[in-house]
A and B are shown apart, each in its own frame.
Chain A
Amino acid sequence: MATITIDGKKIEFKSGQTIIQAAKDNGINIPHFCWHPKLSISGNCRVCLVEVAKMPKLVIACATLAADGMVVFTNSEKAVNARNAVMEFILINHPLDCPICDEAGECKLQEYAYDYSVGESRFKEEKQHKEKRVPLGPNVMFDGERCISCSRCIRFCDEIVKEPQLTFVQRGDRVTIVTYPGKELDNDYSLNVTDICPVGALTNRDFRFKSRVWEMSTTKSVCTGCSRGCNSDIWVRNNLILRITPRENEKVNSYWMCDHGRLNTFKNINQLETRINGAFIKEGLSHVPTEWESAYRKAANELKKYAKDEIAFIGSPFATNEDNYLLAKIAKNFGVSNLDFMRHENPAFGDDILKRNDITPNSFGAELAGIRPGKNGFALSEIIQKINDGKIKVVYLLEDDIAESNPEAAEAFAKLKLLIVHSVNFNKTTDLAHIIFGAAAYAEKNGTMINFEGRVQRIRPAVALATPDKSLDGQKLSRQDKFGTEYDSWAQKNIKDALPSWTILMNVAKELDFRLKYNIAEDIFLEMSKNIDALNGLNYNILGELGVPVKDSINQPLAKAL
């Protein structure tokens, strides 16, 4: 295979690759601002200038094709001088905003200024001034002075979203970014420009000034906005989720995520007023807080009062595989065969980039975990029918606000003798419930979900609950560190008292005399991997950070069936 040598290191490259690509594939990072692996080459920042033996001038590594035997120097005197020069040029008009800039701490320009510039400016003139706070659209704010004119944001809109909304105007050091006349930066993926902007020129209006990045912890997770399951990072400070950013996974979402997933999948978790803290039992017209133990007992005792065919269990495409599996297992043990979950399709949501019409994260998993009618059992539409007929009197429901999304179900649920609900927030369905258990949100627990293509992916606790997850082994999340104050969530005891659905289910089962012994979510997953062919041989370690597909043989027919 053909090779090039970069700073004395010989590496192989694929034909058609540029120097920077070949280097990247071999773990060598050639500094760059404007180049992005998923965008066209613009060659404007000039930071990647390198020396190539036998070439008279320095070349840009992003646009120069690798050729067999090429010898590249990124640290020769010429290359270093050019890079220093370019860094100096970028910095002369860059404002001294770092102390008030959201990007500080994760800024490519800061990093490179430390790594590659001389640390001193010869510029004594007044800097070029530009507009400092221009809302480009509903989600993104622009600061002209911080912009280094790399054109990544423009290329992203043109090439990835295919909705040209941004452009440069003016010339020279007056160049700046604007939206086209009469247009806004309002595409469904607009916030990705804040991730790829190498500096703090484009910021997330939802997150602006909420936190310095180094004060937050990040946890690898998966977006629950639809069945794509975009890999994400959850950013937490003071035990509150402040933002979600996409995490690269070429098999799922590349570098991107949609604005809906980024903005609308965490606020309900932070919301103290609507979060369900502990368990509640309906007394008269209101829900009264109850000890967890007595709620478990109450739920079991009430369930026992009804004949098995008067009961329906409803799983959830929002819950994890582990939660659904346990529900199915308990239903079977208890002899309930009316078992199903509700699908949430929104034909207006999907597109051909990432978004899917199935707006739940785990319908694939719910099905695979066994949430389907047992022998002579009924499916959801029939269950609703039977409730209206008075045949089914009890529903045990996991994490899904069915009353909100299905008015028919809402009417039917109102007729139930007993409605037990696990839920993260109070909602239309919990309004109708007789017993409510406060469920941990996806950002508060361990578990797995399977995306529409059959990829099994992990979620992890990013936010701490009153009862710590045993898998954390005593470790604290979002520590109450030296930045803490007496007004923070920890000192104020604003820590939510919710439990993962599988824990609640295990405790209810115990009261039904069905003893289960799982310490952590993975215990359930390991059992699933023994019992379910498609998951055979998998464990959390194997799933790792990027997930793995369910076994192909199983995947195909199932994917079709869905």
Chain B
Amino acid sequence: MEKIVLPEIKDYHLIDVYIKNGGYESAKKAFTFSTDEIIDQVKKSGLRGRGGAAFLAGLKWSFMPKSSDKPKYLCINGDESEPGSFKDRQIFEYNPHQLIEGILITAYAIQANTCYIYIRGEYHKWIKLLQKALDDAYSNGLVGEKMKDTFGIGFCTNIYIHKGAGAYICGEESSLMNSIEGQRGYPRVKPPFPAQNGLWGCPTTINNVETITNVPPIIKNGWEWFSKIGEPKHPGTILYGLSGHINKPGIYELPSGTLLTDLIYKYGGGVPGDKKVLCVIPGGSSMPPLRGDQIEGVKMDAESLKAYGTAIGTGGVIVMDEDTDLVKILARIAKFYYHESCGQCTPCREGTGWMLKILNRLVSGEGSVKDLDLLVSVANNIEGNTICALGEAAAWPVKFMITRFRDYFEKRVSSENILPVRNKVHSMRNTAISIDTEQN
């Protein structure tokens, strides 16, 4: 099987090796097309975003205004903070130049003279690796002002790496832009969308690292070639991440639509100790989990997974064996979203903490069946009522884990549970202070 995003060529991350293998030729080719032609080809290729929502990349680019007196920007999303996702860093490490080349082509297509690669703060190593590759590209005249001469075109673009400060929410595209602007990482109310009102109020396109790394091969081999790989409605390869109870965890580049069972058993080497699979989250921790007895025949692409009541997300597959404590797992996932909620809008700010508190109670054996209904209700009350999709990311695991594993959860809670009074009465807190310090 051909590897598009992570080709198995030794030292491909080095600029010389990359160029020797035809690197930067796709960009050269792309620059002979008009911007509309490139957008059209990517549209026809069917390339869909690999950042979570699987949105059509070419279509997104076409939203960029053709004429604008404002500068245009391209942001590459390498924040990769979703538990279960660790694919973009493989690109930074093993194929940085294809990403840079993809950026050049995309920037040209949308006419962006400035590009930012936003990388999660904890990725120190990968930031260094990518910076090295970028420096090499600059010194070879492939990026920046010099690319005009190198490619013999009137267009040029600059690429900057922006390091995140450790917030999952900054992977959300509008929050990412605020973060680049130096603001608090708060998602923006949409509409307006980034193509109208992005970085500093200018037209902006945001794409995932993997999405953009797919662009050079599409230009090189043509859209028809790409559209025939894997599932027609979600073509190409996907970097699947295998983690959890799996013998061979790691990143696997395989055609879209690969069977989930193949991923686990054929490529991942199965579950340690040959235990049964209890639960699989197919696309990163925020996606609805599947029961172990539901995974037979499930294909890993956006449309197929949708039919099974879940989603491809970032392709991060988390496998849990039969001995897993799902209550603890769910509490841990809830803790993540509680910790990462930016706190801007009410349902997510308050609801994530509420769900966690209930789940912690469940873990310590103080839950009741009523709490399960309450959890689902709270999750439903968050879903759809928030500014950004972190609301759903927090609500879905809780809602679907409990509804899909209702029997499991009911066994873990007692039907009747009288709670000790939890709300400490105000007067019990040590808040009394002397009158003279409290004049005002």
A43 engages B342 (CB within 8 Å):
no
Query: Which of A43, A44, A135 has the most chain B CB atoms inside 10 A of its CB?
Result: A44
Interface contact B349-A172, CB-CB below 8 Å: yes
**Do A93 and B353 form a contact, CB below 8 Å, given A43-B189, A172-B339?**
yes
Interface-located stretch among B36-44, B279-287, B407-415, B420-428: B420-428
A contact residues around B347 at 8 Å (CB)? 46, 85-86, 89
A125 within 8 A of partner (CB): yes
Residues in B with CB closer than 8 Å to A205 are: 440
Instruction: Given A58-B384, A135-B440, A172-B339, verify A124-B350 contact (CB < 8 Å).
Output: no
A141 contacts which of B350, B374, B377, B440 (Cβ < 8 Å)? Answer: B440
Partner of A86, one of B340, B343, B385, B422: B385
Central interface residue in B339, B349, B361, B429, by most chain A CB within 10 Å: B349
Q: Is B440 touching A92 in the complex (CB atoms < 8 A)?
A: no
Q: Is the interface of A mostly helix, strand, loop or mixed?
A: loop
Tell me which of A163-171, A388-396, A429-437, A485-493 binds B. Answer: A163-171
Chain B CB within 8 A of A148 CB: yes
Task: Establish whether residues A173 and B352, one from each chain, have CB atoms under 8 Å apart when the complex forms.
Answer: yes
B55 interfacial by beta-carbon distance below 8 Å: no
In whole angstroms, how far apart are the Cα atoms of A133 and B433 in the complex? 11
Residues of chain B within 8 A (CB-CB) of A283 are: none
**Is residue B338 within 8 Å, beta carbon to beta carbon, of the partner chain?**
yes
B306 at the interface (CB under 8 A from A): no
Indicate if the CB atoms of B189 and A95 lie closer than 8 Å.
no
Residue-wise, chain B 320-351 has the 8 Å CB interface mask toward A (1 for contact) of 00000000000000000011111111110111
Q: Are B353 and A173 closer than 8 Å at their CB atoms? A: yes
Q: Tell whether, in the assembled complex, residue B431 and residue A132 are in contact, meaning their CB atoms are under 8 Å apart.
A: yes
A44 touches B345 (CB 8 A): yes
**List of A residues within 8 angstroms of B129 by Cβ:** none
B438 to chain A: which residues have CB within 8 Å? 133
Q: How far apart are B378's CB and chain A's nearest CB, in angstroms?
A: 8
Q: How many angstroms from the CA of A362 to the CA of B381 in the assembled complex?
A: 55
**What A residues does B422 contact at CB under 8 A?**
124-126
CA distance A149 to B346 in the complex (A): 8
Report if B307 contacts A (CB, 8 A).
Answer: no
Contacting pair B440 A46 (CB below 8 A) = no
Residues of B close to A93: CB separation below 8 A? 350, 353
- Chain A residues lying within 8 Å of B354, measured Cβ to Cβ, are 89, 92, 123, 125
Whether A38 is near chain B, meaning CB under 8 Å from some CB there, is no
Q: How far is the CA of A49 from the CA of B386 in the complex (A)?
A: 10
Q: Mark B347-378, 1 if CB is under 8 A from A, else 0.
A: 10111111001100100000000000010010
A86 engages B342 (CB within 8 Å): no
Among residues of B, the one whose C-beta sits closest to the C-beta of A138 is: B440
7 contacts between A and B (CB under 8 A): A82-B381, A92-B350, A168-B184, A172-B341, A172-B343, A172-B353, A173-B343
A-side residues, CB < 8 A to B, are 41-47, 49, 57-58, 60, 63, 82, 85-86, 88-90, 92-93, 95-97, 122-129, 132-133, 135, 141, 148-149, 167-168, 170-175, 205-206, 208
List 7 tightest A-B contacts by C-beta distance, closest first.
A175-B343, A85-B381, A43-B189, A89-B350, A125-B357, A205-B440, A172-B341
